[in-house]
Structures are given as structure tokens and as C-alpha cells.
Amino acid sequence: MGTREAGPQVPVAYEIPREVVAEAIVNAVAHRDYASNGSVQVMQFADRQEVWNPGGLPPSLILAKLCQPHGSVPGNPFLAEPLYLTKYIERMGTGTGDMIRRCREAGLPEPEFSVSDGFVITLRRKAGEVTGEVTGEVQKLILVCRVALSRKALQEALSLKGEENFRTLYLVPALTAALIEMTIPDKPRSSRQQYRLTAKGMALRAKLIQKGGT
């Protein structure tokens, strides 16, 4: 378990560096095409995270240049300036390079940049480490399941609002993998139903904690 010796907040180790995700979102907001009715979208998958915006690259840039030092050509200069002054942007034109560097330091694949019906930044997640095929969502569930908890309590501990999303991505996969079990298995719909770690789940949680997961 983590301690609060460094401050009042519980220490958290992010699977994808927080600065990388923030940069991807800032990039999408600053460079999107505001004449489009499309929206900036952040999509989480089992193996990756994608940040999409309805925009493209300026004529002076090509995808290959994003992986090396390049000039800044903000799609929305009136937004870029306040983002710079409020320190969401450190230096113009360095964002993609910083993302690549931070992903390398975290042992992750480099970000992927593509243009289809918009500009997409793909951030790959780690695969095949210690936790085998267990997804990041299930890992998070295992870490918060310190004691037997109800479905609602687990969902609140993960700060999730959608029950269907929680069941599909977190609860059902963890049950299927025998990492957690019901406290009242013969009455799965009981109002007093809770979920606790199995021996397999406890072993995985210990590995995650040792690896710095909480």
C-alpha cells in the first residue's frame, strides 16, 4: 500500500504518463478544426488510448516531421497563446517530441500519429508483463479490492459512473479470470452481494503493488 509521506494525496503510478495524455488532449484542442461540428474524443481500449480531433496537419508539416524537431504552426493561434501562458504548452513545437521521450522512458511504444477523417494520436499500453493478459481496467479493480466490497462500492472506488461500462470492462473480466469471487455465489443478484479477491487475485495484487501500482 502506498503512503502519504510525500503529501496528502495517495501516490498513483500511471500506466501511460499523465503528461503524455495531457499533451495529446491539449494538442487536439489547440489544433482541431473549429469549423467542423465534430468533437475531440478520447477513447480507451484494452491495448491503447486514442485521442481524435476533427483537424489535420498544416501544409508545411507531414507526419514524419512530428517525430523530430519542427516548427510550430498552431491551427488556432488565439487558443495557442493562452495555453502557452497558462503552461499547458511549454514551448511551441516541442509537444510531440516530449510525448515520444516520455513514452520511451516509461518503457512504452512511441506514440503513433495518423490522419484519416481527422488527426489521431494513438498511445499504446504495455502488454505481456507480470500481469499476463489482464487488462489495465481489471488491474485497477484488483488494486482497489482490498476487502470484500459491493458492486457500488467498487465502482465508486474507481470513480466510475456508468454501471454497464463497469460490469463489461472491470467486473465480468475479473470474475471470468477467477481473480475475484462473489461472497454469496448461490444468489448472484442478492442485494447483499459483495466481491472479494481469490488467492489468484491476491497474488496478482501483490505483484502490482510490488511493481508500484498503488
pLDDT tens, position by position, 4-57: 566 666 566 678 899 999 999 988 888 888 888 888 999 887 778 899 998 887
pTM strictly above 0.85: no
* Residue closest to 52 by CA, chosen among 36, 28, 33: 28
Note whether 195 and 180 are within 8 A (CB): yes
pLDDT tens, position by position, 139-188: 999 999 989 999 999 999 999 888 888 988 999 989 988 899 999 988 88
User: Is 85 in a helix, a strand, or coil?
Assistant: helix
Task: Tell me how far apart the alpha carbons of residues 119 and 39 are, in angstroms, rounded to a whole number.
Answer: 12
List of domains in the chain: 18-124 (3.30.565.60), 136-210 (1.10.10.10)
| Tally of residues, the chain | 214
**Which are the contacts of 188, defined by CB distance < 8 A and separation ≥ 6?**
182
